[in-house]
Chains A and B, each alone.
Chain A
Amino acid sequence: MTIVSLKDFSLSYTKDSPPALHRIDLDLNSGESVIVSGLSGSGKSTLCLAVAGFTETFPAMTVSGQIIRSESADGKPLRVGIVLQNFYSQVTYLRSTVMEEIAFPCENLGLPRAETARRVSDAIARIRIGHLAQRSPLELSGGEKQKVVLAAAIAGKPDLLILDEPLSQLDPESTSYLGEVLSELKQELALLIAENDPYLTLKVADRLVVLSEGKIVADGSPETVIGPSTASCLDLPAWTKCVAKAYEGSVADDNRMTRQYELNYRKALSLLRGSE
């Protein structure tokens, strides 16, 4: 089911600036994880903010087209959770422990205490931050704060969860298990993630949308989207880069490059060994 639909949507931050988003048509569906990639300035964060509804309050902005949001299952407006690129600004610091910080969105939703407690402990277990639960949010490292903000967003049980570069401050081990957490989450909600990490894309994305200068230049499964036409906008997995470089200028078979971009790790290794 489509929960958010952008129709011919354009947005400029000021009257004179070039559009940050240009004639975007995009449907987000429940149970689907969409990763948005592209160079910085391509419109990833603006897309996240627009889908979340934040841009509707920016006064100087010029907007055309439509964003249509469906209702939540209970007939209430669609619940959208977001972790901003600058997640530091989302830690309230009004609470003395991480546990209370994570409870904040549930309290705002007016949930009963028992339900709040259940959701908070579930989110803490999922993000594996039990060791931080009783710490003060003020004492956390950058990566720890990013996990706390993510846990709080999950505890709010949104219909759509928007994450703007959710892994930027996380260590590789956390990146790896949060990839699994996000894969699980998409069973329960829709995900829109702005991210350039190719490993997360391969792990989590049902769809990869590539933006360039505010326009969608590709939209499809990662296997079909990652290729020579999008290579200038995307970071690629290490093994893919090795194969592309090893076969660079190979005149034998031009469209071989296309297939090489789609190779998995093992296939890449055998190509590099020369045993393919």
Chain B
Amino acid sequence: MKVKYENVSFNYSSTAALKNISCEFDSGKTILVAGHNGSGKSTFLKLMNGILKPTEGRVILGEIATDGKRTSELARLCALSFQNPDDQLFAQSVKKELRFGIDNIGGGDGLYDSIVDTLHLGGQLQSNPYALVYAMRRLVVIGATAAMGTPILALDEPTAGLSIREKEYLGNLISFLKARGTTVVIVTHDLNFMLPYSDDMLLLSHGGVQFSGGRDEFFTRSDARDLMKRSGIGYPMYARISSALDLEKAAFDADEIAEWARKKRAGVTQRTNGQHQLEGA
């Protein structure tokens, strides 16, 4: 489902969190939202599922504007996993937590099983969510929101507190949802991990849009580093390594760079062999 913000502003009493922002993302895309602390990222997400309504402007999901709609209606379009998992957990077991959305909104049993498998929650279904370690609590919340099967899924800092093992599970879940056609909107500081999964990017700074558009388009821009710096974001490591190695375009994970290095080394080896042959002849 398409997501569109038209001249959206939002104020928390005296503080303006978002100032006249406009952006648009196609259905089925994975979108990363990045920016400094207090740039308006979480506010952006809360506007999407109607927890907050714009002070000015319109948020449109598919063809439906959120103003005038109840949060309960919007919950069928967009599920949101909060920044703090403890704000969201309430059921007595992991299973009940994961089933709640399905039983009320309905993602279906097939989706439930896939999510339990993908996030490796099978062994924890009878546990009390609050007895789990933090990373698992976060996975349960992410799983419970994904299990609602909404066309849009919004995740606020999903990698915070996860170790490499759970990050891998989360990555698999995002790939799985993308294959189902879900639009996934992810607020994150962890660009090093998240960039390989993304199609589009939204950079926020002081409540305004620094960039909105395709990921690959962004990294071909000559001012990409500047834009990130202005948003309080360091240039992602793999892009930095790519540019230090003069790769044609930015790579987003170790595999791409390793592949390039292997090819280059193979080329060097071939040349060396050639020289040997030449010398031998």
Contacts and interface: CB of A to CB of B under 8 A. Distances in A.
Nearest to B187: A142
Contacts of B41: 141
Interface in A151-207: 165, 168-176, 196
Contacts of A243: 258
A235 interface: yes
Interface string B10-47: 00110100000000000000000001111101100000
B60 interface: no
A238 B163 contact: no
A78 interface: no
B163 A235 contact: yes
Interface in A8-63: 38-42, 45
A115 interface: no
Interface residues of B, number: 48
B105 interface: no
Nearest to B244: A269
B258 to A, nearest CB: 3
A245 B15 contact: no
B268 interface: yes
Given A40-B161, A196-B163, A273-B245, A170 B234 contact: no
B238 interface: yes
Interface of B: 12-13, 15, 35-39, 41-42, 83-84, 86-87, 133-136, 157, 160-166, 189, 191-192, 229, 232-234, 237-238, 241, 244-245, 254-255, 257-258, 260-262, 264-265, 268
Given A38-B163, A244-B254, A272-B241, 20 more contacts: A40-B134, A40-B161, A40-B165, A86-B84, A142-B84, A165-B160, A169-B37, A171-B37, A172-B189, A172-B234, A173-B36, A176-B234, A196-B163, A238-B237, A239-B237, A245-B257, A246-B258, A246-B262, A273-B261, A274-B265
24 contacts: A39-B165, A42-B163, A45-B133, A140-B38, A147-B37, A165-B161, A168-B160, A168-B161, A169-B83, A169-B160, A170-B37, A171-B37, A171-B39, A171-B189, A171-B233, A172-B234, A173-B234, A176-B234, A235-B164, A239-B241, A245-B257, A246-B258, A272-B245, A273-B261
Interface of A: 38-42, 45, 85-86, 88-89, 135, 139-144, 147, 165, 168-176, 196, 234-235, 237-239, 241-246, 248, 268-269, 271-274
